[in-house]
């Protein structure tokens, strides 16, 4: 009986200690998810989506916070993890093509090499990468895309899809005064 009381007392103390742990602070670069088609989880829950989505991107959203982004914290001509914290991951649930270049369905880490007029978007097979642990040997596809300027600065990195029609979409990336639009077919 004495052992049972000691076990119960130990369990009570452990549970109390765990209950008093505080959650982590709000991340300065919160994680977000975008789907193609847009609002896919809502469509699925309402019975309007029977198939898997075409794509899903999971990324952290760093803030501009009065900093110089491109040519500043994102260095030109260097590999960037395309976000903050854990590297951006994109999953294609179908085979896709960018500028006629095939990318098999699957999950990839995305990187970018930014310049003033063009970006090179890199799809890499290394997954679950925190920070810039980039291995060029695992590149699956590289696509160059022109840069356009936004009229208004975008405070938080934003990645989203535009559904063009039943066989094509555009992956959009915006931050600060820069936007790229990368069309693909499926």
- One-character DSSP codes across the chain: -HHHHHHHHHHHHHHHHHHTPPPPPPPSS-EEEEEESTTHHHHHHTT---SPPSEEEEEE--B-TT--TBTTTB-TTSEE-SSSSBPPEEEESS-EEETTEEE-SEEEEEEEEE-SSEEEEEEES--S-BSS---GGGEEEEEEEEEEEEEEEEEEEEEEEEE-SSSEEEEEEEEEEEEEEEEEE-
Answer whether 0.75 is exceeded by the pTM. yes
Q: Taking the chain (186 residues) in consecutive chunks of 10 residues, what is each chunk's mean pLDDT?
A: 46 49 72 92 83 94 97 97 94 97 98 98 94 92 97 96 93 98 97
Handedness of CA 151, 155, 161, 163 (dihedral sign): negative
Report pLDDT for 164.
84
| Rounded Cα–Cα distance for residues 98 and 114 (Å) | 18
Place of tokens 């088609």: 37
| Rounded Cα–Cα distance for residues 2 and 56 (Å) | 56
Chain-centroid distance, C-alpha 15: 36
| Rounded Cα–Cα distance for residues 80 and 114 (Å) | 8
Q: Do 57 and 89 meet the contact criterion of CB atoms below 8 Å apart?
A: yes
Dihedral-angle region of residue 176 (phi above 0 means left; psi in -120 to 50 means alpha; beta otherwise): left
- Please give the structure tokens belonging to residue 132: 């810039």
Place of tokens 């799809």: 123
The residue extents of the domains of the chain are: 26-185
């Amino acid at each position: 009986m004495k052992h049972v009381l000691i076990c119960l007392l130990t369990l009570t103390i452990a549970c109390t200690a765990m209950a008093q742990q505080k959650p982590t602070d709000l991340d300065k670069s919160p994680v977000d998810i975008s789907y193609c088609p847009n609002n896919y989880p809502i469509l699925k829950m309402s019975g309007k989506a029977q198939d898997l989505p075409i794509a899903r991107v999971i990324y952290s959203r760093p803030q501009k916070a009065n900093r110089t982004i491109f040519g500043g914290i994102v260095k030109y001509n260097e590999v960037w993890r395309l976000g903050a914290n854990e590297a951006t991951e994109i999953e294609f649930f179908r085979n896709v093509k960018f500028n006629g270049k095939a990318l098999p369905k699957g999950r990839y880490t995305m990187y970018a090499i930014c310049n003033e007029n063009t970006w090179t978007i890199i799809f890499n097979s290394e997954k679950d990468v925190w920070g810039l642990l980039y291995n060029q040997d695992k590149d699956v596809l590289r696509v160059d895309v022109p840069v356009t300027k936004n009229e208004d600065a975008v405070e938080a990195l934003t990645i989203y899809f535009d559904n063009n029609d039943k066989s094509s979409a555009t992956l959009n990336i915006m931050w600060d005064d820069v936007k790229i639009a990368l069309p693909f077919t499926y």
